[in-house]
């Protein structure tokens, strides 16, 4: 396959932010009087902030007014941001920087395609901005994954047609978005959860441009 662009999900692909989301959602659940477990947290991966809140409220069997929901989502985000503000480049997942450097050296375009409205802050903290030609985040899309909007906008922003793009994703909804957008997809994680991806790897350690020859 002739690859001209690589599009990356952020949370769970470049960095493990799920632990911070978990702390913040669990604090909210605690305040509302129920327990939120790590297993519950799995359901929120790749899901937008408001949809995550709806899932959390469903788990706790709690009903809130629209106004209160917005207040709760803001509260969760304030706590989450207090953690990600302290992140450092040490938290970039193994092998990511080497792969991004290899893409730069080979003239392959790169973009972020993330549901997170905090993506710019995370990329700043990780000092990764220099490696991306475009950043499409939760502030720039109206349709959540599995809709392909975020990746189609990423491909458009770097000027490459979808059939020459590869998406890297850790969430099933993100893999589905990539395939719907007419792109190839490398799943990051376990094959059982990401069966639609053409290739699934545990992470970027020992991953190189030649690994994409299998697509």
What does the binding site for ligand BG6 look like in residue numbers (CB under 6 A)? 10-12, 21, 44-49, 52, 77, 114-118, 138
Q: Which residues are near Mg ion by CB under 5 A?
A: 9, 11-12, 46, 170-171
User: Whose Cβ is closer to Mg ion: residue 43's or residue 68's?
Assistant: 43
Nearer to Mg ion, 3 or 13 (CB): 13
Nearest approach in angstroms of CB 124 to ligand BG6 is 14
**Least distance between ligand BG6 and beta carbon 83 (Å):** 11
Residue in 2, 9, 124, 133 annotated catalytic: 9
HEC letters along the chain: CCCCEEEECCECCCECCHHHHHHHHHHHHHHHCCCCCHHHHHCCCCCCHHHHHHHHHHHHCCCCCHHHHHHHHHHHHHHHHHHHCCCCHHHECCCHHHHHHHHHHCCCEEEEECCCCCHHHHHHHHCCHHHCCEEECCCCCCCCCCCCHHHHHHHHHHCCCHHHEEEEECCHHHHHHHHHCCCEEEEECCHHHCCCCCEEECCCCCCCHHHHHHC
Q: Which is nearer to ligand BG6, 3 or 22 (CB)?
A: 22
21 binds, among Mg ion, ligand BG6, none (CB under 5 to 8 A by kind): ligand BG6
For 6, phi then psi, to 5°, come to: -120, 125
Active-site residue 133, yes or no? no
Annotated catalytic, 16?
Answer: no
49 binds, among Mg ion, ligand BG6, none (CB under 5 to 8 A by kind): ligand BG6
Q: Could you give the count of Cα atoms lying within 13 Å of 63 in the half-sphere of its Cβ?
A: 0
Radius of gyration of the CA atoms of the chain, in A: 17
The least CB distance from residue 15 to Mg ion, in Å, is: 10
- Nearest to ligand BG6 of 44, 57 (CB atom): 44
Q: What's the closest the beta carbon of residue 214 comes to ligand BG6, in angstroms?
A: 26
Min dist. Cβ of residue 177 to ligand BG6 (A): 12
Catalytic residue among 11, 74, 90, 124: 11
User: CB under 5 to 8 A by kind: which of ligand BG6, Mg ion, none does 115 bind?
Assistant: ligand BG6
Active-site residue list: 9, 11
């Amino acid at each position: 396959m002739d690859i001209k662009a690589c599009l990356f999900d952020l949370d769970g692909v470049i960095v493990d932010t799920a632990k911070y989301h978990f702390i913040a959602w669990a604090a909210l659940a605690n305040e509302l009087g129920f327990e939120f477990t790590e297993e519950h947290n799995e359901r929120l991966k790749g899901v937008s902030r408001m949809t995550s809140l709806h899932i959390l409220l469903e788990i706790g069997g709690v009903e809130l007014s629209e106004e209160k929901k917005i207040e709760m989502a803001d509260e969760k985000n304030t706590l989450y941001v207090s953690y990600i503000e302290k992140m450092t480049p040490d938290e970039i997942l193994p092998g990511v920087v080497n792969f991004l450097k290899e893409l730069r050296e080979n003239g392959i375009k790169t973009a972020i395609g993330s549901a997170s409205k905090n993506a710019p802050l995370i990329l700043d903290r990780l000092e990764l901005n220099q490696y991306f030609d475009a950043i499409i985040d939760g502030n720039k899309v109206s349709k959540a994954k599995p809709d392909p909007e975020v990746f189609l906008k990423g491909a458009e922003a770097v000027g490459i047609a979808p059939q020459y793009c590869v998406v890297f994703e850790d969430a099933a909804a993100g893999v589905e978005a990539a395939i719907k957008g007419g792109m190839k997809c490398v799943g990051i994680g376990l094959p059982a959860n990401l069966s639609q991806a053409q290739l699934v790897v545990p992470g970027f350690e020992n991953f190189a441009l030649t690994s994409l020859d299998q697509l």
